[in-house]
Amino acid sequence: MQCNKCLVDKPTEMFNTTKVEGKIYFRKQCKECYGEYNRARAKAYRAKNEESTALARKEWKAKNPDKVKLYSKRSVWKLRGIDPDKAEAYLLAHHGKCDLCGLTEGRALAVDHCHKTGIIRGMLCTNCNTAIGLLKDDPDLMIKAANYVRANQKAELDEL
């Protein structure tokens, strides 16, 4: 079956179905193209009805604070290729303690993961996670940075 938008022949399971008076019909656009269409349509609706959609969103968030917190974390993890169930298990097991610096007070933990594989390495506070990211997840660069700081600490002590 050919999608009338992308013009690619695809198997029928790649098309949504609709039922009218007991008869099943395939949509003319594949699921991917139809999804793009729906996202664009929803975005246009939200732009046109900014006030009412903002109010509805605000009301829902006020009624569901636990869901808001859970959904936002889980969606960020999914976008980054991290299994949300594994990430939650790591969070619970770490009791708010950073794997690198060991600090707990007032620091939010981030799920540290390999950006290539999505495999979770551990839990880091925002500062440690940012530092590793700025050093491009490169162990050699991290060793160079540590050696640089050590060398300069020694020089500072010698000056005193």
Work out how many domains the chain is built from and give that number.
2
Check residue 49 and give its pLDDT: 94
- Quickly count: other Cβ atoms within 10 Å of residue 14's Cβ: 15
Check residue 68 and give its pLDDT: 80
**What SS3 state is found at 108?**
coil
Same domain, residue pair 91 and 13: no
Domain housing 134? 64-160
Same domain, residue pair 24 and 71: no
Q: How confident is the model at residue 135 (pLDDT cuts 50, 70, 90)?
A: very high
Q: What percentage of the chain exceeds 70 in pLDDT?
A: 94
Same domain, residue pair 85 and 151: yes
Burial class (CB in 10 A: 0-12, 13-18, 19+), 22: exposed
Q: What is the pLDDT of residues 44-89, one digit of tens each?
A: 999 999 999 999 999 998 998 887 877 777 777 777 777 788 877 8
- Residue 34, pLDDT > 90, answer yes
Same domain, residue pair 42 and 68: no
Indicate whether 82 belongs to any domain.
Answer: yes
Same domain, residue pair 33 and 72: no
Q: Full-prediction pTM beyond 0.85? A: no
Indicate whether 57 belongs to any domain.
Answer: no
Same domain, residue pair 100 and 126: yes
Same domain, residue pair 48 and 68: no
- Residue 39, pLDDT > 80, answer yes
